[in-house]
Amino acid sequence: MVLEFNLLEMTTILTGLNIAGLILALFFITLILSKKHKQVHDYLLSFFILLLGNFLVVKYVFQYDLYNSYPIIVYIDICYWVLLGPTLYIYTLVITRGENHLRINYLYTLIPAILVILCFSGYIFGTPTDLFNNWESPTMTVLIGRYIWFWNSPFFYLLTILAIRKHQKSIKDHFSYLKSVDLNWLYYLSHGFAIFILFLLVRGILYSVFGWEFPFGNYGISLVAVFMYIFGIGFYGYKQRGIFDNSTIIDDQNKIQNLPEISDMKDDRNHQSYQKSGLNNEEALQILSKLKSLMVKEEPYLESELHLSELAAMVDVSTHKLSQVINESLHKNFFDFVNEYRIEKVKDFLSNPGYNQLKIVSLAYDSGFSSKSTFYTLFKKSEGITPVEYRKKNQRLPT
């Protein structure tokens, strides 16, 4: 009696969690699509969350053996899983490239979906539920389709991680800050997606080899994982803006152009990327002198979200030449170059007893830092001691 009650209670909880997950998915989709200035990545994120919502619907139908009554679920099951990975990958590319359109070459991500449809065509255009009713004895074509169907999302997960890591290696050559542009949230959520995929794989192996299932099967754990995943990607994705929104640079003819995408840029510290820039030593010295004078007199580094294109406009050179000067003449990336000035500004504050009443983090923000953790990390790396220790050690008497 107690066991029956517990099972009934657990079933009620899981059903409630399923419904809550669907409501959460619909909430974030509505929230994202109600934004005033929607971009392509917003539509892609909404579609991705919709696919996650379809997962909840499919799992509910299969858990209670309802798919024979609703054959359309078979179509949904085939489509949502084969599209999850590609959608996440394209979403990542669009954000990191600052695009507000979809490239025609993104169509290659649909190749696995097309192959799956071809392999499953006998069921799709026949009796769809037979695809699962005859699961134990598939034809070679169906077996190939299953492998493509299952491994498609893991494959695009790997491509997503590579795209994010490539982006993270390049941002310090273009930005003086990391917050909101490093895509750490997407990196971690992508890993969460991988853990979920791995769980499904391990569960299948354990069941087929040892006949062992996780408590309450795959259904309960899947619901919890997807619920948390929808919340994470919906919350952070809603706040995420395109990396290069409203960014511009000035070219050699002083014409405004779109900022070149990071993913297509080589590491500016590789001198091969500057071989055709046409920058000679005399011009480089002039740019460097003008740059240093600007940094001291106008203190542009106090702008917490200063990026390369903005500074290049102030110096009146192209972003490419400014980047070359910083990398080759100073042997630094843009991030380190700007934040060294911010560190020096904080050091001036900390050395002056007149600012002792202010918290160190407030002084960091006044100096152009936008992240507490970034400030403390860079300060310790630069000075070898913490800001508190520096303040105690370098206090000077007021003049």
The one-digit pLDDT tens for each residue of the chain (399 residues) are 444 445 556 667 667 778 888 999 999 999 999 988 889 999 999 999 999 998 888 877 877 777 777 778 888 888 888 999 999 999 999 988 878 889 999 999 999 999 999 998 888 888 887 777 666 667 888 889 888 988 888 899 899 999 999 988 888 888 999 887 888 888 888 887 777 777 777 776 776 677 666 655 556 667 777 888 888 889 888 888 766 654 433 333 333 233 344 434 444 444 445 554 567 888 889 999 999 999 999 999 999 989 899 999 999 998 888 999 999 989 999 999 999 999 999 999 999 988 989 999 999 999 999 999 999 999 999 999 999 999 988 876 554
CA distance 349 to 335: 21
Q: What is the pLDDT of residue 349?
A: 94
CA distance 191 to 397: 52
Q: What is the pLDDT of residue 64?
A: 73
Phi, psi angle pair for 256, to nearest 5°: -80, 130
CA distance 121 to 118: 5
Write down the residue that tokens 């406009």 correspond to: 313
Regarding beta strands 256-258 and 248-250, do their DSSP bridges make them parallel or antiparallel, or are they unpaired? antiparallel
SS3 category, 69: coil
Of 264, 263, 310, 271, nearest to 291 by C-alpha is: 310
CA distance 25 to 39: 19
Phi, psi angle pair for 175, to nearest 5°: -125, 150
Residue 250 bridge partners (DSSP): 256
Between the alpha carbon of residue 166 and those of residues 161, 162, 183, 267, 277, the distances in Å are: 9, 6, 11, 10, 23
Length of the chain: 399
CA distance 320 to 174: 10
Which letter, b or e, does each residue of 223-253 get, where b requires 16 or more Cβ atoms within 10 Å of its Cβ? Answer: bebbbebbeebbebbeebebbbeebebbeee
Write down the residue that tokens 């892609």 correspond to: 44
CB atoms inside a 10 Å sphere around CB 87: 20
Write down the residue that tokens 């134990």 correspond to: 136
The tokens for 65 are 């053996």
Phi, psi angle pair for 284, to nearest 5°: -60, -40
379, 386 contact by CB (below 8 A): yes
Residue 249 bridge partners (DSSP): 257
Phi, psi angle pair for 222, to nearest 5°: -60, -40
53, 22 contact by CB (below 8 A): yes
The tokens for 346 are 């904080």
Domains and CATH numbers, the chain: 2-239 (1.20.1070), 246-332 (no CATH), 337-399 (1.10.10)
Residue 258 bridge partners (DSSP): 248
User: Given phi > 0 = left and psi -120 to 50 = alpha, else beta, which region is 255?
Assistant: beta
CA distance 294 to 271: 25
Q: What is the pLDDT of residue 340?
A: 96
Helix 308-315, helix 334-351: angle, nearest 10: 80
CB-count exposure of residue 368 (10 Å: 0-12, 13-18, 19+): buried
Q: What is the pLDDT of residue 178?
A: 87
111, 281 contact by CB (below 8 A): no
The tokens for 21 are 């997950």
124, 78 contact by CB (below 8 A): yes
Contacts of 288 (CB under 8 A, 6+ apart): 325, 329, 330
